[in-house]
Amino acid sequence: MAETKRPADETAGPANPKRFVNDSASVVQDCLDGLLWSTPNLGRLDTYPDIKVVFRTDWAKDKVAIISGGGAGHEPMHGGFVGQGMLTAAISGETFASPSIDAVLSAIVHVTGPKGCLLVIKNYTGDRLNFSMAAEQARAQFGLKVDIVITKDDVATVAERGIAGTLFVHKVVGALAEGGCSLEEAKIVATQVIDSTASMGVSFSSVGRLTSERIHRQKMEVGLGIHGEPGARIEDIGTSAKVVEAIMEGIMAGDRMKAEAPEGYACLINNLGGVPPQEMCIVTADLMKSKWASSIKLLIGPASLCTSLDMNGVSLSLLRLDSKLKELLTQPTAVVPWPAAVVPQAPKVFAGISGLDPLEKYTPSEDKEVSAVLVKICKQLIAAKTLLDDLDAKVGDADCGSTMAAAATKVLEMKDKLPMADPQAFCQCLGAILSRVMGGSSGVLLAIMWSGMATSFKKQGAKTWSDAGPRAFKDGLEAMMLAGGASPGSRTMLDALVPAADALVAGTGFAGAKKAAEEGAEATKTMTPKAGRSENVPESAWRSVEDPGARAVAISFADLA
C-alpha cells in the first residue's frame, strides 16, 4: 500500500504538532490532574510522575476492589471509569505503554481490603506481565487476596487483543462488587463476560497525533488495534452503513458469537477519538437499520469510551446477554463518562402541523420557458457545489455550495408540482420552498426576495413574466435589502443580484444580466465587507477573494444567455 505523501516541512516531528499540551514529557500526568480537578471522589497517590494511580476517595475497603489500567491515550479509559459502580482504582502508564509492576502493586495495596481485589487485564504482553507480577507480589509480600482476568475481545486477528469490550467487564463486575459479591463470584462473572464479548474496529486514519498517515485517502483499515497497530486487512473506504456491515459481519463470523443468544446482545458503540458526534449518530442509526438490529437489546453509546488518541475510527463491541448481565449493565453508576445502557427504540414520528406545505393550495401548471430557466439555474448550482464551498472556506464557513446545491436539488424534485404558468403563485411557492429547505441567512433572504416578487406581481396585476418579471425581480431585491440591511457595495450576493436586475429592467435580457452579474461578482474581490459572511473575518482572508454568494449568482445567470 502506497503511503500518503506529506509536505516536506511536515515530515519532522509529530504528525500533528498543533496540540493542547504544555510539555510532551508531562502529558499523561497533566491529563490525570485535569480528570481529578473535574471529578468528585477521586484522588491519586503522591508518587507522580513514575507511578500514576487514580482511586476512589469514598472507598471503605469493605468490598471486592476492581482494578484495571494500561497505557494512556485511551481516555476516558481507564481513570475516567473509576467511581461507584465501576472501577475502584486505575493505573496509567505513559501513552500506549503499560504501567510498571510497582505502579500496579501500589494500586493493589492501597485499595484492597479483606475481601480481596480483581485485576482486569487487557491481552497485551506488557499489561499481562506487569499486572500478573504485581499480583504475585501483593499475595506474597502483603498477604492480599488478588485474582486476575484477561480480556481478549478483539476478533479481528488471532492475537485476541483486549479493546473496548473490556468496558463490559468493568461495568458488570463493578456493579456486582458494589452489591457485595465475593472475589470468587466476581471472577466467575468476569470470565463469563469475557467469553461472551467480541469487538472489532474500522478506521480511516492511523493515530495522526503520533505518526505519519499510512492509510491511503481512499482506503480504510479493518481490525486495527487501539495503539495504531496495522489492521487485519485494507479495504476501499465505504459509507457509514458499509462500515457497520463490515464490522458486524466480522464479529458474527467469529467463534465468540456462534453460541445462541436467546436474550440478544448489548452493543457498545465506541468513538476511537476523531469522529464527530454527528457521524457517530449516523453509525448508530445504520446499526439499528441493519439486519442485526432486532437482536440488539441494549445500546451503550455512541460515545468516546476506549479511544486511540485522535484516530478517525469506530469500534463495536457485542456482549451476549442473559437476565443477570442485563440487570448489572443497567444498574446506575457514579461514573460520568459511562453512558446509560438503554433499550433501543425506533424513532417516534408524529404528524406535523398542517399548512406548512408550500404547494398544497396551488394547482401545478406548465410553462416550458420558465421550466427551462429553472432547470438550468438549479443544475448550474449543483455542479458548482465544490467550487463555492472551497471559495466559502476562505471567507466563511465552507457551506455556501452545499447550501445552494441542496436547495437546488429540492427545487428540481418539486419542479413538476409548481404553478409555473402563474408568476405570482410560482414566486410565492419558490419563496416558501426555500424558507423551508435552505438553511443559513442566504435561504431566508432569497425566500424574502421571491416572496417580494410575488407581492410585486400582485400589485402590478400582471399575469406574465414578460409584462412584469424584471420589475418584480427588482422589487423582490428591495424587500431583501430592507430585511437584511445590506446594499450593493456591502460585499454580498446583492453585488451580483442588483446589477443583474438593473440589466433586465433596462431591457438587455439574460445576456446583459449575465455580464452584469459577472462584473458584480468580480468586483467583490476588493470590496470592504459591510455585511454578510466576510464581515467578521480579517482583511487577509477576504482580500482578492470573491464573495461566494455573488459568485453563485453569476453562475446562475451564466447559462441563461
Residue ranges of the domains in the chain?
Answer: 23-151, 194-345, 368-558
Amino acid at 254: G
Who's near 182: CB < 8 A, 6+ residues apart?
64, 115
Sheet of strand 65-72, all strands in order from the earlier edge strand to the far edge? 42-44, 52-56, 89-95, 65-72, 117-122, 146-151
Minimal CA–CA distance to 75: which of 306, 262, 264? 306
Q: Which of 74, 78, 170, 227 is catalytic?
A: 227
Determine the pLDDT at residue 14.
52
Which contacts qualify for 341-349: CB closer than 8 Å, 24 or more apart? 341/171, 341/266, 341/298, 341/299, 341/300, 342/298, 342/299, 342/300, 343/297, 343/298, 343/299, 344/288, 344/293, 344/296, 344/297, 344/298, 344/299, 346/288
Amino acid at 542: W
Q: All 3 cell numbers of residue 147?
A: 485474582
For every one of its 561 residues, what pLDDT tens digit does the chain have, with 9 covering 90 and above?
333 333 434 333 456 678 899 998 999 999 999 999 999 999 999 998 999 999 999 999 999 999 999 999 999 999 999 999 999 999 999 999 999 999 999 999 999 999 999 999 999 999 999 999 999 999 999 999 999 999 999 999 888 999 999 999 999 999 999 999 999 999 999 999 999 999 999 999 988 776 777 788 899 999 988 888 888 899 999 999 999 999 999 999 988 898 899 999 999 999 999 999 999 999 999 999 999 999 999 999 999 999 999 999 999 999 999 999 999 999 999 999 999 999 999 999 998 887 777 688 889 999 999 999 999 999 999 999 999 999 999 988 888 999 999 999 999 999 999 999 999 999 999 999 998 888 778 889 999 999 999 999 999 987 788 878 999 999 999 999 999 889 999 999 999 999 999 999 999 999 999 999 999 999 999 998 888 878 878 888 888 999 999 999 999 999 887
| Residues pairing with 222 in the sheet | 202, 233
Are the folds of 23-151 and 194-345 the same? no
Determine the pLDDT at residue 224.
80
Task: Kindly list the distances between the CA atom of residue 321 and the CA atoms of 170, 194, 330, in Å, as whole numbers in the listed order.
Answer: 16, 12, 12
Helix (H, G, I), strand (E, B) or coil at 131: helix
Instruction: Please provide residue 215's backbone torsions phi and psi, each rounded to the nearest 5 degrees.
Output: -90, 120
194-345 CATH, one of 3.30.1180.20, 3.30.70.3340, 3.40.50.1980, 3.90.550.10: 3.30.1180.20
- CA–CA separation, 391 vs 393, rounded Å? 5
Is 227 an annotated catalytic residue? Answer: yes
Determine the pLDDT at residue 8.
39
Determine the pLDDT at residue 46.
94
Determine the pLDDT at residue 352.
81
Q: State pTM to two decimals.
A: 0.81
368-558 CATH, one of 1.25.40.340, 1.10.3720.10, 3.30.2350.10, 3.10.560.10: 1.25.40.340
**Domain 23-151: what homologous superfamily?**
Dihydroxyacetone kinase; domain 1 (3.40.50.10440)
Asked whether 216 and 238 are in contact (CB, 8 A), the reply is no
